[in-house]
Amino acid sequence: MPLRREHARIALATIRLVNGALALLAPGVMLRRLGADPRTHGVAIYPLRMFGIRTVVLGVELLVGGSMQHKGKVGVVIHAADAASAITAGLRRQLPPRVAVVAAGISVTNTALALTIAREGMNGGNDHAVPDRGHDPGARRGGPGARTSSLAR
């Protein structure tokens, strides 16, 4: 069964919310997951919290209205950059090899989920993709009084 936009959206939102909340509220735990001791690498707490709030906001954004196609495209850029950063950090030995592989794997997975969201938003995914209605609540209603797109006018 192919991964549908709705499944990708929920999965990516969950990953973002969990990792973001962990970095924001428990950066020491995140540092230990990255192979660093929070007592000796305390300088990393501030950027981890910045990463955390960014990631929480992006997760929440996937759960509210708006253009999923746009959110998917933005997600592709963000997560591909995260994957490149993890791979680069691993190659430069700035992260332990196991940690770099896990971080890159998570970011590549997130990139694939974002691609699914963006692709299906353009109806380039499976045949069951629902057209992206953006943030127009009237577009979801059929019948009298429903708003139509500029293409349908």
What digits encode the pLDDT tens for the residues 21-30?
999 999 999 9
DSSP letter, residue 143 = S
- Rounded CA gap, 67 and 61, in Å? 10
Chain-centroid distance, C-alpha 53: 13
Please tell me which of 57-61, 132-136, 143-147 the model is most confident about, judged by mean pLDDT.
57-61
- The burial of 135, by beta-carbon neighbours within 10 Å (0-12 exposed, 13-18 middle, 19 or more buried), is given as exposed
45-63 and 5-25 helices, crossing angle to 10°: 150
For all residues of the chain together, what is the average pLDDT? 82
